[in-house]
Chains A and B, each alone.
Chain A
Amino acid sequence: MLTAAVTRESRLRSESEFSARLRAGLPPLVVVADGDVAIRDAVTGFVSARGYRVEPAADAEAAARLLLTNTVDVLVSDLAMRSADGVDLLAFARAAAPTTRSIALAANMTAFDRDTALRLGAVRALTKPLSGKDLADAIDLARDCGDGFHGFLYRMSLLDVLQMYHLAGQSLVLRVTGEIEGALWFHLGELIHAECAGRSGTAALATLLTAQRGRLEASALVPTARTIQEPFDHALLDGLRSIDEERAPPRPPGELAELDAWLDEPAEDDSLDREVLGRWLTEHAPGAGLWRIDPREPAIERLHGNAADPEADLSIGVAWAYELAELADPTWTRVELISRATAIALVRAAGVVLALVRPVTDEAIPRRFHLESAQLGRWLHDHVRPPP
């Protein structure tokens, strides 16, 4: 087995070698392993013309020797070679040269071959005949993967991934496939361009953000015209807002009839009302507090949530928001006040004033809070009728 030749030293090549050589101006080294001399020569010529150092290998053993005696950046390997096949070579490369990134080639690549190659660490699995663009993209991606991790992640939302690449300051293209297809361009962590369904810019971003499932694939950044000018956070928030505004959540008839009744005719004993409101909070704004304001009494009452927070501090915030709203526009129907400590939304319809309150514990709170506030406002507007 090829893996028998692995030495302890070869396992310990550091990830920083690749970066160090790039800084030193040495072109990355690519090993092209393919038993078909015509394809090997063609790929070698193509890669060499793109400025890489290239070492051709006629079989897996020759490629393995190169991996052990050189610091190879990218291995391009046919999966079907004489003596040892390409799958063994990929496994060997992963064990013996962990900093080497692999690209698998096959004439008749099955789904099993592709899955095997990717599980063995290949960054791409390409089917012959090769297109120059696919090969160039794959090598660029392999170079990009020279530092950091690459592989499979599951159960990640698109929002999670976008924020991850933003925080990491990455430059790349993220392609989305599945129920909604499109692509997002990152430059130094900022979203600069998006395409989806014939749209571009923030409109495309908003469409992509509606995707609930699918597949994500990152590749090297390619030049593009900038269509998103806003900072990442703002672009993302605006995208979420526009989704929220376009997508008024349909509610089954009578779902919250108890709350409707309570808001129309406040009862003296509000134990049931608190239960209904609690369900609303759990469904739409978990972790937030809900307050009711009666400016005529005056009265300000915490109905639900935020039990762990100092009640007085939040109530003064609610009162502050109410006064600001009255000063800004006495006809107000919805208010959002974000301070360093709290996020407070007031909504008013048919004489009922509710306040949604969250302590601001991190920067993500205000972003999500805008959506929660809009939902509460829409719900109140839709469900509360003016008194006869």
Chain B
Amino acid sequence: MTPRDELFRTAVVDGGALGAVAIDVATRSSIAGFAHAELASPALVELLLGAARPSGPLTRLCGGAPPGAARELFVAGADRAVYCSVVEHRVLIIVATPVTMSVALGWALVRVLAAAEARP
């Protein structure tokens, strides 16, 4: 386990999250993480980063231009909440938490990890 992984492990375990991962935007590979299997599908990552154009029925209805990359995404579901944050166009941080966890704490976890991934 690398020091980066250790940071993610600490954030997840101490923060009460379900998992967290940092993905290199250029290569789409995981560069650090803990308990991050199936945290976010490749399709979600591609759509989030603006590499894939949305193609669902609503988008066809709108017929607009493809979006750029997202900066932040928060999705609260029935069992878990997912937080995504793109750091300096280089790293995508994804954190999953129990849906009962405070949204403020969830974003705080993301920011701790994002700060570690930001350039000095």
Nearest chain A residue, comparing its CB with the CB of B85: A338
User: Which chain B positions have C-beta within 8 A of A300?
Assistant: 58, 61-62
Which chain A residues in 303-326 approach chain B with CB under 8 Å?
A: 312-313, 315-320, 322-326
A-B contact count (CB 8 A): 133
Beta-carbon contact of B61 and A336 below 8 Å: no
- The answer on a CB contact under 8 Å between A298 and B61 is yes
When distances are taken between beta carbons in the complex, the residues of chain B under 8 Å from A323 are: 47, 54-56, 58-59
Give the chain B neighbours of A295 by CB distance below 8 A. Answer: 57-58
Nearest A residue to B70 by beta-carbon distance? A339
B72 interface hit (Cβ, 8 Å) = yes
A298 in contact with B75 (CB, 8 Å) = no
Contact of B59 among A299, A316, A328 (CB under 8 A): A316
Stretch at the interface among A54-62, A234-242, A254-262: A234-242
Query: For residues 14 through 65 of chain B, which have their beta carbon under 8 Å from a beta carbon of chain A?
Result: 40-41, 43-44, 47-48, 54-59, 61-65
In the complex, chain A residues whose CB is within 8 Å of the CB of B63: 312, 316
Chain A residue numbers with a CB within 8 Å of B107 are 234, 237-238, 241
Query: Shortest beta-carbon distance, B31 to chain A, in Å?
Result: 21
Inter-subunit contact B73/A337 (CB<8 Å): yes
Near B by CB (< 8 A), chain A positions 245-281 give 245
A234 CA to B77 CA, complexed, in Å: 24
State whether the Cβ of A230 lies closer than 8 Å to any Cβ in chain B: yes
B111 touches A326 (CB 8 A): no
Q: Which of A234, A245, A331 contacts B108 (CB 8 A)?
A: A234
Residue of A nearest to B66 (CB): A316
Closest B residue to A312 by CB, please name it: B64
A320 to B61 CA separation, bound complex (whole angstroms): 12
**B10 contacts chain A at the CB level, 8 A cutoff:** no
In the complex, which residues of chain A have a beta carbon less than 8 angstroms from the beta carbon of B68?
Answer: 339-341
- Contact B79 A331, beta carbon cutoff 8 Å: yes
- A7 at interface, CB cutoff 8 A: no
User: Is B1 positioned at the interface, with any CB of A under 8 Å from its CB?
Assistant: no
Contact A339 B62 (CB under 8 A): no
Which B-chain residue is minimally distant from A347 (CB atoms)?
Answer: B76
Chain A residues near B71 (CB, 8 Å)? 338-340, 366
Q: Does A168 contact B (CB under 8 A)?
A: no
Q: A313-B64, A336-B73 are in contact. List 6 more A-B contacts (CB 8 A).
A: A230-B111, A231-B115, A316-B59, A323-B47, A323-B56, A334-B75
Can you report 28 A-B residue pairs in the complex whose CB atoms are below 8 A from each other?
A: A229-B112, A230-B111, A231-B115, A241-B103, A241-B104, A245-B104, A293-B58, A295-B57, A295-B58, A298-B61, A299-B61, A316-B54, A317-B67, A319-B59, A319-B61, A323-B47, A323-B54, A324-B54, A324-B75, A325-B75, A327-B47, A328-B40, A328-B82, A333-B77, A335-B76, A339-B69, A339-B70, A340-B69
Q: Give the interface of B toward A (CB within 8 A).
A: 40-41, 43-44, 47-48, 54-59, 61-65, 67-80, 82, 102-104, 107-108, 111-112, 115
The interface of chain A, by Cβ under 8 A from chain B, is: 229-231, 234, 237-238, 241-242, 245, 293, 295, 298-300, 312-313, 315-320, 322-341, 366, 370, 374
A-B CB proximity, top 4 nearest: A316-B64, A329-B77, A331-B78, A319-B58
